Structure 1
Amino acid sequence: MPQLVASGSYAGGMADSPSPRSAAPGPERLDLAASSVDITRQICDIDSVSGTEKRLADAIEASLADAAHLELIRHGNCVVARTRLGRAQRVVIAGHIDTVPVNANLPTRFETVEGHDYLWGRGTVDMKAGVAVQLKLAAELAEPRVDVTWMWYDNEEVSSELNGLGLLAADRPDLFEGDFAILGEPSNGQVEGGCNGTLRIELRTRGLRAHSARAWVGDNAIHKLGPVLDTLAAYVPREVEVEGLVYREGLNAVGISGGVAGNVIPDEAMVQINYRFAPSRSVAEATAHMHELFPGYEILVVDAAEGARPGLDAPIARNFVAAVGAEPRPKYGWTDVARFSALGIPAVNFGPGNPLKAHADDERVPLQQITDGERALRAWLSGH
């Protein structure tokens, strides 16, 4: 249980998990004067699995309420804070505050692995370390060299129609005016440009039921999936260069179903397929590719999201990459940079944590990446 108080400072640190303290009246507050590592711990220890983010959103809003340089806007469980300094450019910096379900990996703890110090626990990588850096800088940078719109949103880890950033964009498009966007998704402290698109289809086969003792009378729908599975197993993913970054695609079966009873030839079977495609392809082109690979099969698109081109040719993006000393890499997974890209805003992923540890039971973030990420982003925003 994190130590959150109505006012005052966070009493955590590098020691064992803090003991609970009686809650003070009024909304909880985070201690944003603490280190970005300690802020990460504070917000991770507030369990905020998708759909339960209200407590954390309330704490974020309350913690920034006294920041005179910020205009606060609440939209559901999204919290937006922005400067209104009249700068020539505006940057949107965003992060989601929800996590996938906890699996005995909260409260957080510090651990050392092979000589490196980590903060262990759900959300440390995906993506509360990035959010912690953002919160600290939002509170402290009253005079950034660009105007900044900070966004912390809910329901990123679940269905797209629930995504708080998407709902905010639909209701308040004026908040998405900007020249550049940074999403704090884990990127090992490097800059990952754009993202792959994603397509999920259900491919069905049809047959005829019969008694399994007289199988020749029926037509086995499951057997008809054999060529589909062979195609998937033999598929060689493309590596596609887009604006100087090479994106690796992926095509995989992610679910399969079929069967009626132990003595019945099945008349229907389905395999669910996920296609991760380079941002040079549209959803329509990705769907057409599925029909090319599986001609004659019944295909239903059940989920789709466009990818995002890197957008690193924009001068402000090049300036950011140079300032943080990073070598741009492609983002293989889908992230909300695609939402910014669709609005014509070049966007990158930049945050602490190894993406391979996202959602893992041993999810953990190197402390050095948190502090390095804060230092780099602070220097770029402040101009020194």
Structure 2
Amino acid sequence: MVNAPAAVQTANEIDRLIRTDGGRLMACLIARLRDFQLAEDCLQDALESALIHWGRHGLPRSPEAWLMRTAQRKAIDRIRRAANFRSKSDELAALIALDSEAAEPPEETAIPDERLRLIFTCCHPALDRKASVALTLRSISGLTTEEIARAFVVSTDAMAQRLVRARHKISKAGIPYSVAGPESWSERLDAVLAVIYLTFNEGYAASSDRHVRVDLCDEAIRLCRILLTLCPHEAEIEGLLALMLLHHSRAATRLGDLGEIIPLECQDRTAWNRTMIAEGTSLLERALRRGRPGVYQLQAAVAAVHAEAPSFQETDWREIALIYDALITVKPNPVFELNRIVALSYADGPAIALDRLAAIAGLLAEYQPYHAVRADILARLGKDDLARMAYEKAIELSGTEAERNFLGERMGRLA
């Protein structure tokens, strides 16, 4: 029988493993099983077994290795029970041989290469791009369905359904999950860049637990560096790496000693990482010289304007608004329009910005930053009652305590 303290400890450890190592374990399993759905099912089976076994006997010496070995054995059991057992006999023999070897996951130095290979593998062109990106974020990057839904600005239920449909298509169409060779990189590159970008975004402004997850930011930057060595003349890879470095250069100044959010206008710019800024700016200039400006390069250009501004008040908001004009031309997107409105609120005044907000209200009704921006603009116009209502909606949609505290403090300043 499992005692209550042990059960709590076990559940906490499993939650930690899913958060920190879930993507890596999934990547290893897909690489070994060559079957996306089988890998996902077996990892879930292993986690359920861990909940029972660890609760009774305590945590193993290496929880990750225990999960890998258990998942492999679950795969053997599933293949043996499958109706097409004979057609999978070779796979079963290979898996049994693998199970007899050490079940430790690959060495840490090999993980970035292996994870990037798995991202390319999972971003299969037979799947809709949004579906393949979402599925890869869920299974390889270890993001939750809620976090992915926030990235795509859709409801959690809608994202869950999208993931289910993608899995069904993989199973029904028999999409092979083999390692993509260089000849197929170009058709997958856009989706791979989206996975890296959205992984970084979740780390930069996490929707759960902590407001900032440096581990995700660092991993995204590392993956992009590897990708750039593989495709050294791709302007959008250079642009994405520049974008992440320019944003990440402010990491040390974005939270206070108690974990409170420090907004851009209050950050100590002397503490920004000038080495990262220099590298990001150099990468951006190199990318733009190639004459193929894309979404990541243009977003990096916005980040560069902020990085180069001596102060918040001296930021060239007009230039930022013009860059967002170009971004919206390249890729129409209500989130880019929201960011453009923020720039216009400083360049042309909050009254003009408020009028433009109304045009995208229906598209971003459940998007927390929309309500936070609207609240700020209303407060600057002296419309305190409306600002308070907008702040309350933004707080309701916030995923972290840091966000709720920050918005609550802003709301408390209203008359």
Give the structure-1-normalised TM-score: 0.29
**Structure number with higher helix proportion:** 2
The answer to which structure, 1 or 2, has the higher relative contact order (CA under 8 A, 6+ apart) is 1
Give the structure-2-normalised TM-score: 0.27
**Structure number with higher strand proportion:** 1
